[in-house]
Amino acid sequence: MDPTLISGTLELMILEVLANSPSYGYEITQSVKIRSGERFLLKEGSLYPGLHRLERKKMLESFWQQVEGRKRKYYRITALGQKELAQKRKTWSEFSAGIQGILGANCGLA
């Protein structure tokens, strides 16, 4: 998969993963991996800057939690993040429909 395609959707993926419950870095990467059918493998070098960017924009907030004797930094979506996610879902749906329209019947061809 072309990694440049991921950069434009990174924030959407992070917000979507965090939409229903808080999570921490490794768990977020695994969720994206599983939910994408292993098509997207987020690396630390893109995940953490994305998390920090969303946190600076007040779309996420972080907190520390002790789990099995280790401290983990968790992230949760804020109300502003939920609004942004709704907008990003709409934008993605429109974009995806447009691309599908262009590809049409040729979509499944190699």
Tell me the CATH number at 23: 1.10.10.10
The torsion angles phi and psi of 66, rounded to 5 degrees, stand at -85, 125
In the chain (110 residues long), the average pLDDT of successive 10-residue segments reads 69 96 97 94 92 97 94 97 96 90 71
Q: Which domain holds residue 74?
A: 3-94
- 16 occurs within a structural domain: yes
- 32 occurs within a structural domain: yes
Q: Give the pLDDT score at 105.
A: 61
Q: Give the pLDDT score at 109.
A: 55
In the chain, how many domains are there?
A: 1
Q: Give the pLDDT score at 67.
A: 87
Tell me the C-alpha distance between 97 and 50, whole Å: 26
- 101 occurs within a structural domain: no
In 3-state terms, what secondary structure has residue 23? Answer: strand
Q: Rounded to two decimals, what is the model's pTM?
A: 0.86
- 106 occurs within a structural domain: no
Q: For the residues of 57-84, what is the DSSP string, one character each? A: TTSEEEEEEEETTEEEEEEEE-HHHHHH
- 84 occurs within a structural domain: yes
The torsion angles phi and psi of 91, rounded to 5 degrees, stand at -60, -45
- 20 occurs within a structural domain: yes
- 104 occurs within a structural domain: no
